[in-house]
Structure 1
Amino acid sequence: MPIRKILTAGALALALPLCARHACAHDGTGHNGGRIADAGPYHIELVTKDRTVEVTIYDAKETALSPAGFKGTAILVVGGKPARVVLTPKAARLTGEAEVVLGANPKGVVQITGPDGAAASGKFN
């Protein structure tokens, strides 16, 4: 009987971190090739190219939402300094232009405010 308890405990010890990681993080890339982060009730996808920042907002089922009524700010670290980019609705996403070239995967935070005034943020490492 003790062997069974040890095996059960071992299986749980291995499985729980994997489940928690899956529930709290997103692996791979989003629909537009960017990185995904949780932001309150939303999932947000960050795509950067040269100086352009694009953020697509998804619901819990990862269906893209209209950016109408949303606004945001991306604070991304470039060369050790923060680059602040105001994001406004354009086509199917929030977009903005940085003053400096950002690179493909800058670290930072994207803050969004929904049409209801509720704010949320997603962290990108």
Structure 2
Amino acid sequence: MHKSLATVLISTTLAVSLPVSAHTEQHFDNITTPHGGQMRMAGPYHLELVTKDKEIVLYVTDHGDNNVATEGGVGKASIQVGKAKPKTSVKLEPAGDNMLRGSGDFSVTPDTAIIVFLKLPEYEAQSARFTPLKPKAKPAKKSQAGKTPAGANEAHDHHMHH
């Protein structure tokens, strides 16, 4: 009895986690997006954020990358550079097909985080966090991180010999 219950639980967990892993931030950061922006998943949507010259364009597609109409929708982008306050808020309005667009007085740096809030008719409101200029993670960082614990252990071993 217990064995079959455990099997059911494990199978359920796998079934639930598989679709999610296909849409990780790492996955999106490693693919070429249709408009060259950064893509994130938010509820039923894939959101692609493109920033240029104080303008934000948000492209909305479904999980099959089909355009989602933004007519009648509302959006907001909250832009924060590093830990600086205040945040800059930019209203996003429908701009044809599957786009929302807004402009404001902001600049995007590698430390910039943009949180987008989106509400389309007949759908629940969603939000996603973007870091448009954040450098892509490089595998080289892992090897350095690996050295730190080893160094700490050596110091610890040395201490124990006394």
Do Structure 1 and Structure 2 share a fold, with TM-score over 0.5? yes
State the 1:24 CA deviation: 2.7
| 5+ residue gaps, structure 1 | 1-18
- Runs of 4 or more above 4 Å deviation: none
Unaligned runs of 5+ in 2: 1-18, 132-162
Larger RCO (alpha carbons 8 Å, 6+ apart): 1
Cα offset, 1:108, TM superposition: 2.2
TM superposition score normalised by structure 1? 0.73
Equivalent position of 1:70 in the other structure: 73
Q: Deviations over 1:68-125 (max 9, x none)?
A: 1221001111362321110001123100011233358831211100111510011113
CA RMSD, aligned part only?
2.6
Between the two proteins, the alignment pairs up a number of residues equal to 109
Counting only pairs closer than 5 Å after superposition, residues 46-57 of structure 1 correspond to structure 2 as 46-57=49-60
Q: Give distance in 2, aligned partners of 1:98 and 1:29.
A: 27
Q: CA deviation at 1:29?
A: 3.7
Equivalent residue runs for 1:1-125 within 5 Å: 21-25=21-25, 26-27=28-29, 28-78=31-81, 80-81=84-85, 82-92=87-97, 93-102=99-108, 106-116=112-122, 118-125=124-131
Question: Structure 1 vs Structure 2: percent identity of aligned residues?
Answer: 30
Structure number with higher helix proportion:
2
Residue 23 of structure 1: CA displacement?
3.5
